[in-house]
Structure 1
Amino acid sequence: MPRLPHPTTGGRGRDRLALRGRTALVTGASRRGGIGHAVARRLAAYGASVYLHHHVPHDAAMPWGADRIEDVVASVRAALGDPEATVVAGPGDLSDPAAPGELLATAAEALGGRLDILVANHALSGSDGTLDTVDAAMLDAHWQVDTRSVLLLVQAFARHRAALPARTPGGRVVMMTSGQDIAGGMPGEIAYALQKGALASITRSLSTALADHAVTVNAVNPGPVDTDYMTGEDYDAIAALFPAGRWGMPDDPARLVAWLATDEAEWVTGQVIDSEGGFRR
């Protein structure tokens, strides 16, 4: 079977708009200091149309607070590389088991009826503890948001792609883990580490399940990223553990996620990729 040329280059080599004509749903993109916002800006810069999922009540309850969604959307629109691309935003409480499927359908419809890229970036912050303090409510809360909702999103995405013409190119799923499998683990965040670990362990199985639909599935561990949740001496102590002497910034993992969404990464699937800048645990 002859290979089709890249849809944005006509087979003439690389194009800075490597995602022109593609569409993406990025979850957890509700504030400009977060990884989701940085990922959305990168995808938009590469030419994709992007749907930004947000759940403002979650961020409003955190120490860093919530952004105005209008400001987040404006920031991503400012990064658009293709003037014909669009940016849309909508809410969703992904602890609701019906929300993932509804969100996927809403995003696809808003972006013209086809969704190519799913970046499951959302997660529950807080509501966690050590082995001694974790309880059933903490475990359930993280399961619902960090794991169950991601799997239901991937399920809905797989069904959506299955309804497209056979092996439509460009299908991508990227999930986010947190280095819970690396030396030292996360003993202070047992519920979070457990559920993120489940995503890491299911990555290869999901990649096999979606292979017939020409969809790659990968997970990214971004390591410690400065998303405005730490300051002072603790911040400096973490920075000293990086060979570069600085924290990871949201755009650091965003560049990797955006590359995984392009055709250059079509042969990479079933992988959990650490993007930690040499962080020494």
Structure 2
Amino acid sequence: MPPLPHPAPEALRRDPLPLRGRTALVTGAGRRDGIGHAVARRLAAHGASVYLHHHVPHDAAMPWGADRPEDVAASVREALADPSARVESGPGDLSDPAVPAELHDRAAAALGGRLDILVANHALSGSDGTLDTIDTAMLDAHWAVDTRSVILLVRAHARHRAALPPRTPGGRVTMMTSGQDIAGGMPGEIAYALQKGALASITRSLATTLAGHAVTVNTVNPGPVDTGYLTGDAYEAVAARFPGGRWGMPDDPARLIAWLATDEADWITGQVIDSEGGFRR
């Protein structure tokens, strides 16, 4: 039956737990200062069960260091709003082409056998440069993690949803891009910008592909977000380019991504959405 042009009054009232009974996999959720952690907390606060993916060796090699996965999971559990929901976590090196499908299967099994929401938040940090300094190793590394693994995760999600009863509600995919198509681009991070641009470009094609399985696909550009990677004068210079005078915080894009996972966003698909707080590039 098609939707009514004017929903009944009770349908207009907001459910305090719009994701109750839904399940989600959030990749790149290994740091409490990161966007993935903030997204997971928001999904949990909306009633979802969440599987947190982490890759500790990547974060440990970065200047900001790694958190203990159990501490991150505990923080997300604190946000659980549905007593029957749960939080699970596990590792995965997504540069290995076999890992995306294995991770998806593991997350679905850990959360009861069905996975509704995929948030592909992970990315490779560092190992990049300008057009003059990049090499094939940098390009290949970013392709493997930032793009290939995301497409393989989306394929695993599409196959999983196709095996469910037709039009099972709640199917969602959110990918992450980085504003590489806006204003001056990212000339100092050619490999990263290239692979994130590929995700933005493929969004509509994936949305069309997954529409038959009642899965929406959108990509979010969170803009500059304070995840602990910049300090001092450089930090203040970036803050001054926001009309509000502050950086984006991890919870800023997390609110949007969590909303996209709800039924209120059921009619939004194939979009690249900028959530940058008016950042002036």
What's the TM-score, normalizing by structure 2?
A: 0.97
2:14 maps to amino acid: R
- Matching of residues 249-268 of structure 1 within 5 Å: 249-268=249-268
- Counterpart CA distance in 1 for 2:2 and 2:114 is 24
Q: Secondary structure at the match of 2:85?
A: coil
Question: 1:71: which partner in 2?
Answer: 71
Q: 2:114 aligns to what?
A: 114
Name the amino acid aligned to 2:17: L
Match of 1:259, SS state, is helix
Look up the match of 2:41. Answer: 41
How far apart, in 2, do the equivalents of 1:221 and 1:38 lie?
15
CA distance in 2: counterparts of 1:192 and 1:273, whole angstroms: 19
2:13 aligns with: 13
The equivalent residue for 1:182 is 182
Q: Distance in 2 between matches of 1:108 and 1:162?
A: 14
CA distance in 1, matches of 2:3, 2:62: 49
Whole-angstrom CA distance in 1 between matches of 2:277 and 2:76: 25
Q: Is the partner of 1:175 in helix, strand or coil? A: strand
Aligned to 1:87: 87
Per-residue Cα deviation, 1:194-252 (whole angstroms, up to 9, x for no partner)? 00000000000000000000000000000000000000000000000000000000000
Residue 139 of structure 1: aligned partner: 139
Deviation (angstroms), 1:12:
6.7
Q: How far off is 1:3 after superposition?
A: 5.3
In structure 1, runs of 5+ residues without a counterpart are 5-9
Deviation at 1:16, TM superposition (A): 1.4
Q: Give secondary structure in 1 for the equivalent of 2:88.
A: strand
1:7 maps to which residue? none
Secondary structure, aligned partner of 1:180: coil
| TM-score, length-scaled by structure 1 | 0.97
Aligned to 1:161: 161
SS of corresponding position for 1:181: coil
CA-based RMSD of the aligned residues comes to: 1.3
- Cα drift, residue 2 of structure 1: 5.5
Identical counterparts, % of pairs: 83
The one-letter code matched in structure 1 to 2:278 is G
The 3-state SS of whatever aligns with 1:88 is strand
The separation in 1 between residues aligned to 2:3 and 2:55, in whole angstroms, is 41
Q: Which residue of 2 aligns with 1:101?
A: 101
Alignment-mate amino acid for residue 136 of structure 1? T
In structure 2, the gaps of 5 or more residues are: 5-9
Whole-Å Cα distance in 1 between the matches of residues 148 and 70 of structure 2? 29
* Structure 1 counterpart of 2:29: 29
How much does 1:13 deviate?
A: 2.5
Distance in 2 between residues matched to 1:86 and 1:11, nearest whole Å: 27
What is the CA distance between 1:14 and its match in structure 2? Answer: 1.2
- Aligned equivalents of 1:218, 1:71: Cα separation in 2: 30
Q: Per-residue CA shift, 1:83-122, capped at 9, x if unaligned?
A: 1100000000000000000000000000000000000000
Spell out, residue by residue over 1:116-173, the C-alpha distance to the aligned partner (whole angstroms, 9 max, x if none).
0000000000000000000000000000000000000000000000000001010000
The answer for the alignment partner of 2:239 in structure 1 is 239
Specify the alignment match of 1:56 in structure 2. 56
Deviation of 1:258 (Å) = 0.2
Partner of 2:223: 223
Structure 2 CA distance for aligned equivalents of residues 268 and 141 of structure 1: 32
Map of 2:193 onto structure 1: 193
4+ residue runs over 2 A deviation:
10-13
C-alpha separation in 1, matches of 2:140 and 2:75: 34
